[in-house]
Chains A and B, each alone.
Chain A
Amino acid sequence: MDHLLSSMTFIPLVGVAIILLLPRQAHNAIKWTAVAATTPPLVLAVWLYLNFDRTHPGFQFVERAAWIPAANIEYHMGIDGVSVTMVLLTALLCFLCIFASWGIDKGVKGYFALFLLLDTGMMGVFCALDFFLFFVFWEVMLLPMYFLIGIWGGPRRVYAAIKFFLYTLLGSALMLIVMLALYYSVEPHTFDMTKLMEAHGSLGRLSMWAWLALFIGFAIKIPAFPFHTWLPDAHVEAPTAISVILAGILLKMGTYGILRINYSIFPEETAQLAFWCLAALGAWNIVYGALCAMAQKDLKKLVAYSSISHMGYVMLGMASFTPQGINGAVLQMFNHGTITAMLFLLVGVIYDRAHHRDIDGFGGLASVMPVYTGVTAVAFFAALGLPGLSAFISEALVLLGSWGRYPELAIVGASAVILTAGYMLWALQRIYLGPVNEKYRNLPEINGRELFTLLPLAAIVVVLGVYPHAVLDLMRLSLEQLNQTVLVHF
C-alpha cells in the first residue's frame, strides 16, 4: 500500500481517459465505467479506515517524489487525522453520487468524465502536503464544477456557474500570493507544508495580512458571511448529485484549509484573529443561515442556507481551542457532509417526480410515499440535531467546547438550535403531513436505486449518533497536536 493515496486520487482520472475513448452513445458503458472508477477508492478508503494508525498524530501513508526539482516543487501526499475523515467522506459521496446521477441523459459522456475529474481534484486537495500541489488540485476542481453546473444545471445555470467560478478564483488568487510569499520566506525555498509548519509563518509583519488573505480564500468556500452569496445560486441550479458534492465535500475544503494551513502555519495569528474571524463570524453564520433558511419557499434553497448555518458550528468549534470544540468541529464537518448529502438527494427525489421544489406546493406526501417520508424524517431529524443521530453529538461537542472560551457565543449557538428545529419541522409539516395534495396522489414511491444512495448515509448517521468514536478516534491525536500549536500563543 505504498501508493494508496495516489491510487485513490488518480484511479478516477483513469476512468476519465476510458470514458473519453468510449463512443458517445454507449450510455451504460460510460456509467458503469464511472462506477468502476469510483469503487476502488471506496474500497481503499475502507481499508484505510481499518489500517489508519490511531495512535500516531502525524502524517501517514506519505508519498513523495521530485516534481520540478529546479523550483523545489514536490509531489508530496500524506494524511493525518483531519484529512482522513475528509478522504473517507469524499470516497463515499463520490461513489454514491454516480448512482444519483444515473438519470442524466444529456451529454452523458461529458458529465461523467467531468465528474470523475472533480473527484480527482477533491481527493487531491485532502491528500496534498505540498502547497503547490494543493493549489493545483484546488483549482482543478473549478473547471469541472463550472461545466457541471453550467451545462447540466437549472434555468439560471450560466449565471450561477460563472458566479461560483469567479468567487472561488478570487479566493485562490489571494492564496497564490501567500503561497509564493511563504515559499520565499524559508531557506531553502520550499512549498513543503510540513517544513512551512516548522518555520511557523516567518513572514514577519506581513503574517497578519497573509492569514487574512488565506482566510478570505477559504471563507469563500465555507461559505462564511459575507462571502456566501454564490452558494444558494450554485446549489439551486446544480443537478442533484453536484449539489451533494458541493455541500458534502467542497464546503469542507474551506474549513479544512483553515485547519491545515492557517492553523498550522500561522498559529500566532490564528490565536489573535480567531475570535473575530472564526468564532464571532461562525456564531453569526449559525443565526443568519437559519433565519435565511426559514424564509425560503424552495426546499433546495432551504437546505442550502441550512448548510451556511451548520458550517457556522464548524467555525465556532474550531475557534474554541478546546479538545471538545475542535473535535466537534471536524466531526461536524463529516456529519454535515453525510446529512446534507441525504437532504439534497431527497430533494432530488421529489424534484424528479414533481418537477418543482416548492415547499408549499406539496402536502400529505407521508401517505403517498411512506418509505420516502421515513428516510426524509431521519435526515431532517438528524439535521436539526436530535439526540441519537450524528449531528447532535458534534453540535453538542462544539457548544461544550466553545462554552469554555466564549460563553456568550455558545449561548447564541445553542439558541439557534431552536431556529433550526423550527424551519426543519415546519418544512416537514408542510410537505409530508396534513391533507394529501390531490395533484400528487399517484406520485411513485422512492425506487431501489435512490434508496441505495440514501441508506448507507442513513446508517452512518445512526451509527455515529450512538458511537461517535468510530470517527473521533481517527482524528483525536492529530487535532490535539494542532490545538497545542495554537494554544501556546494565547
Chain B
Amino acid sequence: MDLGNLGSLAYFWPELVLVATILVVFVVDLFVEDKERLGDLALAGAGLSLLAASRQFGGETGWLFSRMIVLDPFAVFFKVLFALAAIAIVWMSLDSREVRSFRSQGEYYGLLLTATLGMYLMAAASNLLMAYLSLELLSLVSYVLTGYLRHDRRSGEAALKYLIYGGVASGTMIYGMSWIFGLTGSMDFAAIHAELFSGSPDRLTAFVALVLVLAGFGFKIAVVPFHMWAPDVYHGAPIPVTAFLAVASKAAGFALAIRFFYPVVSEMAGDGTWKFLAGLDWPQLLLVLSMVTMTLGNLAALSQQNLKRLLAYSSVAHAGYTLMGLVVLSDEGLRAVLFYLVVYYLMNLGAFLVVMIVANATGREDIDGMRGLAWRGGAAPAVAMSVFLFSLTGIPPLAGFVGKFYLFAAVVERELYFLALVGVLNSVVSLYYYARIVKTMFLDFPEAGDGTVRVGLHSGSLLWGLVAGTVVLGVYWAPVVGLVDRSLRFWIG
C-alpha cells in the first residue's frame, strides 16, 4: 500500500486526534478560568488517540503521504506506548505542585501533546527528512518544557544546556544524513536500503555517515558519550517533564534507532536473524557503547544525592542495558528491547511519580528528603518505590527482572558472554544505590521537621496501577511478549 496525501488521512487518525486536541487546548486556554479542566481535556485527547492507535493493530500496513511515513505493527506498538505515556504524564501533572504553579497550563498540556505527536512521527518515519523533522519537533518542545519553571534558575540553565547539546547533536546527525544522501542518492529508507545492498557504496564513507547519524539517536537515548545533558536536564526540569523525557523520549529514540539500524542498514537473513552490511560493523560499535554506557551510568549514580540526578544516571545505565538488545542482530534482541521499554515505562515512571509525591509534600528531591518515609504517613509510596527500585535492579519476581532476563538471554544466545557478564555485574552495582534509597525510606527514622506525606487521588491511583503492572508482569508476562512478537514486523515494501 502506497498512499498519497488525501488517501493517507484515513490511516492517520491517532495523529489527527492529537493535532485537534492540541489546537482545542490552546484555544480553550484563552477562555476558561478553571485551568485544571485543560488537563482533563488533554487526557481525553490522549485517550482517544490511544484508542485510535490501538485499533490499528493487525490492520493494513503500507506507506502514507507518499512514502514519508510508514504504517506497520512496529510503529503502532510505539504509538500505543507513547499514548500511554502521555496519559500517565498528564494524569501525574494533575497532582503536581510544579504544574499547578504554571500560569499557562494550557500551553503546558498543549506542548506535552505536541511532543507526543513528534514521537508518533519518529516511530513511523520512513524518510530521512521525516526522521529529522519529527526528532526536531520532539526536541524543540522538550527544550521548552524543560525550562518551564520560569523562576527557577536551574530550570532555565537545564533548558539552555539541553538546547545547545541538542543543537549540536542534531546538526551532527543531519550532516551524517547528507552523507547518506550523497552515497545513495535518496532519502527514502527503502531506497537507501536497496542502494546500500545492491550498489557498492564506499564502506568507510558509509561507516562515518552511520556514526554521525548515531550522534542524533545517541543523544535522545542518552548513550555515552552523548549523555552529558541528562543529569542536568533531568534535575532542572519539572518532575512530570523529567519522567516524560526519561520514559517516552528515550523510547522514541530507540524506535527510530531500531528502524534505522535494522530494516534500513541491515538485511533480514530469515530465521529471525539479521545481517549487517559487510564491512559496516556497527554492532561492534554499539557493543562497546553499551558496556561503557552501563558502567559509567552506574558508577556516576553511586555518588548522587539528588534523586532526579540519580535516576538520570540510572537511566543512562538502563540505556546501556537496552542497547545490548540492539547489538545481537536477532529478532530475540529486538523483542527484548521492546519488552524492556514496556517494563521500563512502568518502573521508571513509577519511581519519578514517588519522587513527585514526596516533592509535593516536602519540596525536597534529595535522598535525605525520603528519610523514614515509611514511618511518616508515606508507607504506600515507600513500598511502591521499593517495588520500582528492586525492579530496576532486576530482582524477580518483578517486571524489571523479566526485561533484563530477555536482554541477557538474547546476548547469551549469541555467545557474547563477556557482555552478559558486564551487564550482570552492573546490576549488582546498581543495587547499591537503589538499596540506599530503600534504606533511607525504611531503615532510617524521620527526624523532627520531616513533614508528613499524603498521596493525592490522581497520583495514588496511578501509583497502584504502576505497582500492579510491575508485579503482574514479573509473574506472568506471556501476553506482553506475544504482543511484542506481533509488533516486530517492519513494512519494507
Contact = CB atoms under 8 A, between A and B. Distances in A.
B477 A68 contact: yes
Contact of B401 (A67, A139, A147, A174): A139
Given A143-B390, A177-B420, A166 B431 contact: yes
B396 A140 contact: yes
Interface residues on A, range: 20 to 34
Contacts of A158: 439, 443
A166 B428 contact: yes
Contacts, number: 80
Given A68-B478, A68-B481, A165-B431, A176 B424 contact: yes
A50 B397 CA distance: 33
B412 A157 contact: no
Interface string A180-197: 110110000000000000
B425 interface: yes
Nearest to B409: A180
Given A69-B478, A150-B442, A169-B427, A177 B432 contact: no
A225 interface: no
Given A69-B478, A136-B397, A173-B427, 7 more contacts: A71-B481, A136-B396, A147-B442, A151-B443, A158-B443, A176-B408, A184-B413
Interface string A150-171: 1100000110011001100110
B428 A180 contact: no
A165 B435 contact: yes
A108 to B, nearest CB: 14
B397 A173 contact: no
Interface of B: 390, 393, 395-397, 401, 405, 408-409, 412-413, 417, 420-421, 424-425, 427-428, 431-432, 435, 439, 442-443, 476-478, 481-482, 485
B423 to A, nearest CB: 9
Nearest to B482: A70
A142 B395 contact: yes
A169 to B, nearest CB: 5
Nearest to B431: A169
Contacts of A150: 439, 442-443
Given A70-B481, A70-B482, A177-B417, A140 B412 contact: no
Nearest to B440: A158
A275 interface: no
A288 interface: no
5 contacts: A143-B390, A157-B443, A162-B435, A169-B393, A206-B417
A173 B431 CA distance: 12
Contacts of A183: 409, 412
Given A165-B435, A166-B432, A135 B408 contact: no
- In this complex, the member of B395, B396, B397, B431 whose beta carbon has the largest number of chain A beta carbons within 10 angstroms is B396
Contacts of A161: 439, 443
A146 interface: yes
A181 B396 contact: no
B372 to A, nearest CB: 11
A206 to B, nearest CB: 8
List 10 tightest A-B contacts by C-beta distance, closest first: A173-B424, A180-B412, A136-B396, A139-B396, A150-B443, A170-B428, A68-B478, A184-B413, A177-B420, A180-B409
B448 to A, nearest CB: 20
Contacts of B408: 176-177, 180
Interface of A: 67-71, 135-136, 139-140, 142-143, 146-147, 150-151, 157-158, 161-162, 165-166, 169-170, 173-174, 176-177, 180-181, 183-184, 206
Contacts of A140: 396-397
Nearest to B395: A139
Contact of A135 (B396, B443, B478, B481): B396
A169 B404 CA distance: 14
Contacts of A184: 409, 412-413
A162 B439 contact: yes
Give chain B's interface secondary structure class: helix
Contacts of A169: 393, 395, 427-428, 431
A151 B372 CA distance: 11
A209 to B, nearest CB: 8
Q: Which of A135, A161, A166, A169 has the most B CB atoms < 10 Å from its CB?
A: A169
A165 B397 CA distance: 16
Nearest to A139: B396
B449 to A, nearest CB: 22
A173 B428 contact: yes
A162 B417 contact: no
A181 B428 contact: no
Nearest to A182: B412
B445 to A, nearest CB: 10
Nearest to B387: A143
A131 B431 CA distance: 23
Contacts of B425: 170, 173
A177 B405 CA distance: 9
Contacts of A70: 478, 481-482, 485
A70 B405 CA distance: 14
Contact of B424 (A69, A142, A165, A177): A177
Contacts of B439: 150, 158, 161-162
A182 to B, nearest CB: 10
Contacts of B481: 68, 70-71
A176 B305 CA distance: 31
A263 to B, nearest CB: 23
Contacts of A135: 396
A162 B429 CA distance: 12
Contacts of A68: 476-478, 481
A151 B442 CA distance: 7
Nearest to A210: B417
Contacts of A157: 443
A135 B474 CA distance: 13
B468 to A, nearest CB: 14
A165 to B, nearest CB: 6
Nearest to A136: B396
Contacts of A166: 428, 431-432
B346 to A, nearest CB: 18
A341 B417 CA distance: 40
B375 to A, nearest CB: 9
Nearest to B427: A173
Given A173-B428, A177-B424, A146 B396 contact: no
Contact of A181 (B417, B424, B431, B442): B417
A174 B442 contact: no
A135 B396 CA distance: 8
Contacts of A143: 390, 395
B417 A146 contact: no
Most buried by B among A140, A146, A150, A170: A146
Nearest to A181: B412
